[in-house]
Structure 1
Amino acid sequence: MVARAYTVAFEGVDAHPVEVQCAVSNGLPAFSIVGLPDKAVSEARDRVRAALNAMAIALPSKRITINLSPADLPKEGSHFDLPVAVALLAALNIIPEDAAESCVALGELSLDGSLVPVTGALPAAMSAAETGRSLLCPEPSGPEAAWVGAAQVIAARSLADVVRHYTGQSPLPPSEPGEVSTDPLSIDMRDVKGQERAKRALEIAAAGRHHFFMVGSPGSGKSMLAARLPTILPPLTPAEALETSMIHSIAGLLDAGGISRQRPFREPHHTASMAAIVGGGRRASPGEISLAHNGVLFMDEFPEYSRSVLETLRQPIETGSVMVARANAHVSYPCRFMLVAAANPCRCGEMFDPNKACSRAPVCGEDYLGRISGPLMDRFDLRLEVPPVSFQDLDLPASGETSASIAARVAAARETQAARYEDIPGTRANADIHGALLEEITAPDSDGRAFLNSVAEKMGLSARGYHRILRVARTIADLDDADQIKRPHIAEAVSFRLLSAKEN
């Protein structure tokens, strides 16, 4: 007799169904797991045996074989403990076979039989819903998985609770979704003294999801501005919150099963490795660019990152996804993020001040920013020099617009774009448009077209740079609630490109 249970194997954010087959046959006593398991899966037999002993269930003196099908799909992680135990309990007639086959199980077992939470409960629940099964998981993972809604989630504290549930002795109630995180941010755009032009650039970047590059002396407020960008971004839509949370679930970053509607803000250190930024490692885990999906990736001290890391960003910026290639698998993660980068004008940072600049200025600045290649620099829609703030401005009381008032304009512009691109897959903001749609949506009036052509010739714009100016101008027009791009919109978009930056 072969008993069956079901679980999943993760490949990126995709959860592939796995059938766990258990056969108890005559022969020398043995407990083996086959089907391309890794070390953690192979060790499940010892954890399952100890957990059953804690429940006073003795394994028969027979040959027990666990097969994980499909056998050619790599199986990684400790979440296979629970499905192996469920299949074995069904094979021993301790729980009904139909109960074992009606659920997708995942969870790690302690030696005393208690269940330990694992990562990936949210994509596992998605897979369970697609196959018409319920999800069986550890109790701390239940609120996270219950967000799917289409699959019933049964969360148990121990293997004994699982047995009592499926034998009808003490049924477990379905889990409820965790709390939506609504922690208000304690910072506000009004905290920034001066820098009105930089605030305007942030507003445009937030409205159209444009990539933004800032150059300024140390202490001019670049990091302070970037930190306040989340305060003017609209909350995640339900669909965006779910797909972002699936990545965070794989990475084990969901707090107490709650899903946040606030957009991610990731700020890795400039010493981070390529695997940390792009993704990789032994299990091809998501990197910072994927953890920033639908949010912001802030890279301070941009030229200090290694050249290989910076150049690897070029393709994900364009495609919105990254392929982590390994010898045995190719894992794809979504990474549609807004890149905000900041840099000093030179190594010492004082090139803009003649009284403090070193003797190598301005050559030192060209060498320092020259670490950023032309093709990568060309991918920034907005480039801005952030001047130092005067002491007189610092002494003034806080003034200017609050984050709430800016966020209202940003939200209105985003709603305009959402309606415009509603029937276009993969396009949510102006930064995403390309091809024939770009020509249709960003067509300026005759005066604006003539002005843009003149500017493009003088600046030596590349085709990419030309189109990026049009995208930014479309966002500025949306903020003005204008149907067509006009010359003032193009003029402002052009002003947010550093003339000293090399076009490629």
Structure 2
Amino acid sequence: MPLARAWSVALLGIDGRLVEIEADIGAGLPGTKLVGLPDPGLREAKDRVRAAVRNSGHKWPETSVTLGLSPANLPKVGSGYDLGIAVAVLAASGVVPATKLLGTVLLGELALDGRVRPVRGVLPALLAARGRGYKRAVVAVESLVEGALVDGVEVSGAARLDEVIGWLRDEQPLAEAAVPAEAEPPTVPDLADVLGQPEARWALEVAAAGGHHLLLTGPPGVGKTMLASRLPGLLPRLSLEQSLQVTAVHSIEGSLEADAPLVRVPPFVSPHHTISVAALVGGGSGLAMPGAISMAHCGVLFLDEAPEFGGERLDSLRTVLEQGEVRIARSRGVVRYPARFQLVLAANPCACAPPREVDCCCTPAARRRYQSRLSGPLLDRVDLRVRLRPITALSVRDAGQPERTEQVRERVELARQRAAARWAAHGWQTNAEVPGPALRREFALPGPATALLDRSLDRGAITARGADRCLRVAWTLADLAGDDEPDADQVAAALEFRDRRAA
């Protein structure tokens, strides 16, 4: 009874699992059976593969064909198994030898005429294959640039199924992956474009230096969106590990650029307030797809007009802000996506939002209802709160020449280097990642430095979580000033950033 095997990869979030594709050709009535928890799109693979094999000049077996995908209890989603299924059937039929299949991963969708189409998630799939010891992979030629990002795996590309058949027969080589050239970083808006707002500019610098979350409150047109869009330009470029994580998420979502797939600049994601919870956090039928928060991993998630998002969408971020990842449970499995981002919220003081607050026509009850859309537990996780004032000609003239992004980024990078050196033994990179117990025990500040913070706790002005976040901001202020540890003035400045009147 002819039997052959090929290998592909199933993705659960950004984690990959190797899938063994078995093709058994036995006696019986002609027919093809696919087992191993395929989704509806994968169940159609037998028809796509059969047509692709015939149109590539080869004969499909006229007996019973059984295709098994193992592990059998693992849900299989998508069309990326087509190439592996076709090769397994051809190997079981004796059309191609199976010698090269051992240690090779095949990823690609087949068109009816035999073309190999690219699929999503090539990068995380190849990373998973490398982790399991596989040294060779065959993908669509359009995915070669993405496959070249994975060291230690020989990635080849095919435009048609007959090219793969010729390669398996040692009749022709496949296209090889070339290391992509380093792309020029995209142009980011300059901080010098923002007029006035010295307090908000300083808060933006502190947020960039420590990885802190930020709330900008003020009337329309004062520069909230302009400031938020310039935060990615202040952040350091991503490390190689961070770039691979971010690129893996974008690969699964299908938004990678063909000429420069590796994401090296912190992403900036700004969804509309009508976005659904599933699109924000991640979700969908079957196994969940990444949402906007995962697309903003290692970057900035900007929620403009934050009160308009509604309580359900905003409060869905609370756990993610603490854990740095999202776990989405569905009936067919649990997926995990990274989501360690900087949250920037922008809000108007009230619903009518006039240029001057004295012109507000909202009742006190209406203002409270509008502001209460940002719940207390969510605001407690926001480190910096800044109230922006209307721009006046006098304030712009007195401000002088504003600093450019490059000048501020130099100070941010120095502060981040100090923080990284201090936390290196613990594996933390920024002050925002340091847990509260470590700040209170191993890196506890002297009593006089935290006296004001202790009094605020006694009065109930802040929560214990808020006190921990004040300490993190104080360490960032010390890093920007070049100090070894925060003093009482820096702790007081960090506490002032949490003033509820700025919310």
Instruction: Give the TM-score band, short-chain normalised.
Output: over 0.9
Deviations 1:133-187 (A, max 9, x none): 2111101111112211121111111111111222221112431233444333252
TM-score by length of 1: 0.95
Query: 1:450 maps to which residue?
Result: 451
Farther off after superposition, 86-95 or 404-413:
86-95
Q: Does the 8 Å CA contact 2:277/2:313 hold for their aligned counterparts? A: yes
Deviations 1:445-503 (A, max 9, x none): 4431223323444562110111111100001111112111112211221221233379x
Does 1:497 find its partner at 2:501? no
Q: Does the 8 Å CA contact 2:188/2:230 hold for their aligned counterparts? A: no
Change in 2 beyond 3 A, CA 1:261/1:91: same
Q: Does the 8 Å CA contact 2:387/2:502 hold for their aligned counterparts? A: no
Q: In the alignment, residue 82 of structure 2 is paired with which amino acid?
A: D
The count of corresponding residues between Structure 1 and Structure 2 is 499
Deviations 1:25-53 (A, max 9, x none): 12111122111111111111111111111
Whole-angstrom CA distance in 2 between matches of 1:9 and 1:497? 45
Deviations 1:101-143 (A, max 9, x none): 2211111011111111110100111122122221111011111
Of 308, 312, 315, 2:316 maps to 312
Instruction: List aligned pairs for 1:326-405, cutoff 5 A.
Output: 326-350=330-354, 353-354=357-358, 356-358=359-361, 360=363, 362-393=364-395, 399-405=401-407
Query: 2:467 maps to which residue?
Result: 466
Q: Does the 8 Å CA contact 2:217/2:502 hold for their aligned counterparts? A: no
Instruction: List aligned pairs for 1:105-124, cutoff 5 A.
Output: 105-124=106-125
- The alpha carbon displacement at 1:419 in A equals 2.2
Query: 1:272 maps to which residue?
Result: 275
- The alpha carbon displacement at 1:367 in A equals 1.8
Superposition RMSD on alpha carbons, in Å? Answer: 1.8
Whole-angstrom CA distance in 1 between matches of 2:94 and 2:335? 39
Does 1:262 find its partner at 2:265? yes
Of 206, 210, 213, 1:211 maps to 213
Deviations 1:217-272 (A, max 9, x none): 01111001001111111000111001111111111111116202100110001110
Whole-angstrom CA distance in 2 between matches of 1:442 and 1:481? 17
- The alpha carbon displacement at 1:423 in A equals 3.3
SS at match of 1:78: coil
Does 1:72 find its partner at 2:76? no
Whole-angstrom CA distance in 2 between matches of 1:265 and 1:179? 23
SS at match of 1:21: strand
Query: 1:150 maps to which residue?
Result: 152
Whole-angstrom CA distance in 1 between matches of 2:139 and 2:256? 15
Whole-angstrom CA distance in 1 between matches of 2:261 and 2:332? 33
Whole-angstrom CA distance in 2 between matches of 1:68 and 1:43? 14
Change in 2 beyond 3 A, CA 1:98/1:421: farther
Deviations 1:336-388 (A, max 9, x none): 1100000000001138521x11152x443222111111111111000010111
Query: 2:438 maps to which residue?
Result: 437
Change in 2 beyond 3 A, CA 1:166/1:405: same
Whole-angstrom CA distance in 2 between matches of 1:326 and 1:284? 7
Q: In the alignment, residue 240 of structure 2 is paired with which amino acid?
A: P
SS at match of 1:461: coil
Whole-angstrom CA distance in 1 between matches of 2:186 and 2:142? 25
Whole-angstrom CA distance in 2 between matches of 1:245 and 1:422? 25
Q: Does the 8 Å CA contact 1:214/1:384 hold for their aligned counterparts? A: yes
Q: In the alignment, residue 288 of structure 1 is paired with which amino acid?
A: A
Q: Does the 8 Å CA contact 1:442/1:470 hold for their aligned counterparts? A: no
Whole-angstrom CA distance in 1 between matches of 2:405 and 2:437? 35
Q: Does the 8 Å CA contact 1:182/1:260 hold for their aligned counterparts? A: no
Over the matched positions of the two proteins, sequence identity in percent amounts to: 41
- The alpha carbon displacement at 1:441 in A equals 6.0
TM-score by length of 2: 0.95
Instruction: List aligned pairs for 1:12-411, cutoff 5 A.
Output: 12-133=13-134, 134-256=136-258, 258-282=261-285, 283-350=287-354, 353-354=357-358, 356-358=359-361, 360=363, 362-393=364-395, 399-411=401-413
Change in 2 beyond 3 A, CA 1:454/1:435: closer
Query: 2:487 maps to which residue?
Result: 486
In structure 2, runs of 5+ residues without a counterpart are: none
Whole-angstrom CA distance in 1 between matches of 2:385 and 2:440? 23
Q: Does the 8 Å CA contact 1:379/1:465 hold for their aligned counterparts? A: yes
Q: In the alignment, residue 316 of structure 2 is paired with which amino acid?
A: T
In structure 1, runs of 5+ residues without a counterpart are: none
Farther off after superposition, 248-257 or 311-320:
248-257
